[in-house]
Chain A
Amino acid sequence: MQPFDYYKPKDFEEAFHLMNMPGKTVYPYAGGTDFIPMSRDGFWKCDAVVDVKALPGLREIKETPDGLFVGAAIRMNEIANSDLVKSHWDVLAQGAGSVGSEQIRNRATLGGNLCTASPCADTPPALYVLNATVIIRNAQGERKVAIADFFKWVRQTAVQNGDIVVGVVIPRPAAGAFGSYVKLSRRKGSDLSLVSVAALTFPNGKAANWRLALGAVAPTPIRTPAAEAILEESSDEAHIELAAKSAADTSKPISDVRASETYRKLMVANMTKRAVRMTLSRREKGG
């Protein structure tokens, strides 16, 4: 691995001073599970890393008046095993629990999963259906970016040089909300998603609202408004079939070493059905 310097500031002032060292390329550093292999293979080159794990708030999970706050340096297993997350934001716990292996989930962080911005990342689809907001800070101040505006393209986000992602805020879904995250990969564990679907439903008067988000089948995660509208008419089997077809039409997958475009489109339909049925069965059982 190419040499780089390492700093672990305890406050933001010091962090931004380090992030803005003149003439130096400085990366924020959290779990290391993307940084270390990318850096070792020479894809990412920097003069220094700023470890964000000691910054105030970045290791917190708490409920706030605006919803659930999850700090950027919270690890995947900490989300997956958190009773607070599971209480109202379970679809996020499901997404986090499906990342990589146990060993990776014990290091990889939410901030890293967002900032690496791999199209097949497992937490973003859940954050899309939960309408999360990303909190970003830099030397000038703090700003909030809706999750749908955060991802720009493959590995490109709203994060600029000198920014540090502090965490996400996720509104508490309406009472009676249920969600599911479904992931298809070549093998059961420790593999990247070929197709993933997050589904969330919550009561709206006598009707039900639906949100669906797809991962790994477009440059960024995408919502599927047409499919959602179909399910809001009815979630009977005929409508589930139609919604699944609509979701597949909305997706724009690529062909690569893991699967072809045609296969991925077919699987968007199948995984959408699976996610919707799973959500309905959770709603029936009440959990």
Chain B
Amino acid sequence: MLHEITFTVNDEPVTLAVKSHHTLLRVLREQLGLTGTKIGCENGECGACTILMDGEPVNGCMVLAVEADGHKIETVENLNKSGELHPLQKAFVEKNAIQCGFCTPGMLMMAKGYLARNPHPAEDEVRQAIVGNLCRCTGYIRIVDAILDAAKEVA
């Protein structure tokens, strides 16, 4: 079954036809070419596909594309749309919070959604916030440092 949906992706209105059983993750990557959002476990465990839906972090693999109708979606591609890196991206670069880089888009979006609601987090709060984002290089210390650094900048 095809559904015509209209939603906002990275501040741009989009109308397209999506299949009932396709996830938002798949549609973002395959129909809109936004491959910054990664496919990890597709089971809601790893957080590599974390995007913001109406500002809240969700797993793109756990939302049907048709459910995005009327909602506001933000992906990692939006962070440096102005041509300049987002403070979170700068902090990740400066702190070397990237090893293989696969978890990075999800980490960035999780952090963006989290800092919007909790701009002055303590270290253990940041650790708790990213429990749904796995880094299999296990580079968590630098990721947490980078998010704490960026928090100073964003707030």
Contacts and interface: CB of A to CB of B under 8 A. Distances in A.
B62 A107 contact: yes
A189 B128 contact: yes
Contacts of B90: none
Interface in A16-43: 31-33, 36-37, 39-40
A66 interface: no
B110 A5 contact: no
Interface stretch (B50-58, B96-104, B143-151): B50-58
A40 B113 CA distance: 27
Contacts, number: 85
Given A1-B21, A33-B62, A36-B64, A104 B44 contact: yes
Contact of B57 (A33, A51, A106): A106
A112 to B, nearest CB: 11
A3 B20 CA distance: 7
Most buried by B among A3, A5, A6: A6
A190 interface: yes
A101 interface: yes
Interface of B: 1, 3, 19-23, 42-45, 47, 50, 53, 56-59, 61-64, 66-67, 110, 113-114, 128-129, 131-133
Nearest to A6: B20
Interface of A: 1-6, 8, 31-33, 36-37, 39-40, 49, 51, 77, 100-104, 106-107, 187-190
Q: Chain A's interface: helix, strand, loop or mixed, by majority?
A: loop
B131 A3 contact: no
Given A37-B43, A102-B114, 16 more contacts: A1-B23, A2-B21, A3-B20, A5-B1, A6-B66, A31-B62, A32-B63, A32-B67, A33-B62, A36-B64, A101-B132, A102-B57, A103-B47, A103-B132, A107-B62, A187-B131
B62 A4 contact: no
B3 to A, nearest CB: 7
B44 A103 contact: yes
A143 to B, nearest CB: 29
Contact of A6 (B45, B59, B64, B133): B64
B136 to A, nearest CB: 15
A6 B62 contact: no
Leading 8 A-B pairs by shortest Cβ distance = A101-B132, A189-B131, A6-B20, A5-B1, A190-B131, A106-B56, A103-B59, A103-B132
A107 B45 contact: no
Contacts of A32: 62-64, 67
Most buried by B among A2, A31, A32: A32
B138 to A, nearest CB: 13
Given A1-B21, A2-B21, A5-B1, A103 B50 contact: yes
A49 B21 CA distance: 10
Contacts of A189: 128, 131-132
A3 B19 contact: yes
B67 A102 contact: no
B93 to A, nearest CB: 24
Most buried by A among B23, B42, B62, B64: B62
B65 to A, nearest CB: 10
Given A32-B62, A32-B63, A106-B56, A101 B1 contact: no
